Every structure is written in C-alpha cells, then in structure tokens.
C-alpha cells in the first residue's frame, strides 16, 4: 500500500495522493470511479497523480507502451506533481521487530526493486540514469545502512520527530510505503491506522 501525504501551503489539511497511477495499465472508468470514491470518503482531500512508472515489466503482459504517456497527457495541459521523499511507515515496534523490518526491507530491495529499476547504462533512458547508481547501492545494502533516512522505525514520537526534520528541510510531501517485503495485509492495515491516529495529527 502506497500513500502520499501532502500539505499545501494554503491549507493545513493533509492531502492524499498516489505515488503515480500508471494509466495504460488500468481501465479509465475504473480509475475515475476509484479516485472519485476516495475523494468523497476523504472530504475532498485527494490529489490525483499519474505517470508511466519505473518498472517496464508491468507493461509487457498488456503490450502497452511507456514511451508516449507523459507527453500525451502533458499536451492536454494536466498539472503534474512530484513526490519528494519515500519513508516507510512503521510504529510501536520492539528491537527484534526492528531487525525483522530491516530484513524485510532489504528483501524487498533485492527481490523487487533491483529487478524493476533500470541498472544497465547501455539501455537505461537518459532520464532514468540516476537509477543505475541506486541499483549499485541497493545490491550492497546492509541492515545498518537503513537509518532514518531510509525507513521509519520506532515509536510514534520517533517517527514524528523524523518527519518533522524532513518538514524543516523544506519538504511538504512524503510517500509512505506500508506494504513492503510481503507483509501480512492485517499488519499493513494496522500500521496505516496507527500512523493516521498517532503521527499524522502532528502535521494537520
């Protein structure tokens, strides 16, 4: 589960947005229906965002093209927004659980992220070249490397403090990845609920 929290300068209400909705992979009516429903349930707090994504493997089963989606929709005058951070939301965990969380994160990097990111400089598009260095770092990542700059671990107070530092640095949007490393769905739902109850109010 991915959720983006945005706090525009003109309002203190938290906004909800996707990292990016990959339009060629979804039926347009279903996309419109789902986001309209979320907008109603959240009281008008939704910011819709679309993009081509980073994983070209998603396109292969549908024989869809990644090359023209952004140009096609930007020509229509759509407003695009970018995400500035990617912390992973977790709270109320013990030392043993923190170790398990770091192991889960590394498993996610090695089994999912590295395979999806373009890591070959010969084939990576110019706009995706920064992924190459990222793949090199992820191949050698260790649990000790996963500091507060990589994942959110600890109590709600610790997580709030970390996000306050991000806010103080000038960022007003973060992406929260709750479902990382094949986490059980009930755990994902619990972590999302606890984040909204115990951390999000500090940014409302």
91 confidence band (pLDDT: 50, 70, 90): very low
Q: What is the pLDDT of residues 28-39, one digit of tens each?
A: 888 888 888 988
pLDDT at 94: 55
Q: Per-residue pLDDT for 20 more than 50?
A: yes
Q: Which residue has the higher pLDDT, 84 or 1?
A: 1
Strands (E), 70-163: none
Task: Give the pTM.
Answer: 0.59
What residue ranges do the domains of the chain occupy? 20-82, 87-204
12 confidence band (pLDDT: 50, 70, 90): low
Spatial separation of the C-alpha atoms in residues 152 and 25, rounded to whole Å: 30
Burial class (CB in 10 A: 0-12, 13-18, 19+), 14: middle
pLDDT at 95: 59
- Average pLDDT of 97-101? 81
β-pairing verdict for 173-177 and 15-17: unpaired
Q: Which residue has the higher pLDDT, 127 or 162?
A: 162
């Amino acid at each position: 589960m991915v959720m983006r929290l945005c706090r525009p300068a003109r309002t203190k209400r938290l906004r909800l947005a996707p990292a990016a909705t990959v339009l060629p992979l979804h039926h347009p009516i279903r996309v419109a229906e789902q986001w309209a429903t979320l907008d109603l349930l959240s009281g008008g707090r939704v910011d819709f965002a679309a993009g081509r994504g980073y994983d070209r493997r998603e396109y292969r089963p549908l024989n869809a093209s990644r090359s023209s989606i952004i140009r096609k929709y930007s020509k229509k005058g759509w407003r695009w927004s970018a995400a500035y951070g990617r912390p992973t939301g977790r709270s109320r965990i013990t030392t043993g659980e923190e170790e398990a969380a770091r192991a889960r994160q590394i498993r996610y990097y090695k089994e999912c992220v590295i395979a999806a990111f373009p890591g070959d400089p010969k084939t990576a598009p110019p706009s995706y070249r920064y992924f190459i260095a990222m793949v090199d770092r992820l191949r050698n990542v260790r649990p000790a490397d996963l500091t507060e700059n990589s994942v959110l671990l600890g109590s709600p107070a610790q997580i709030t403090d970390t996000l306050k530092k991000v806010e103080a640095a000038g960022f007003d949007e973060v992406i929260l990845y709750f479902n990382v490393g094949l986490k059980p769905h009930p755990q994902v739902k619990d972590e999302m609920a606890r984040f909204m109850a115990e951390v999000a109010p500090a940014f409302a």
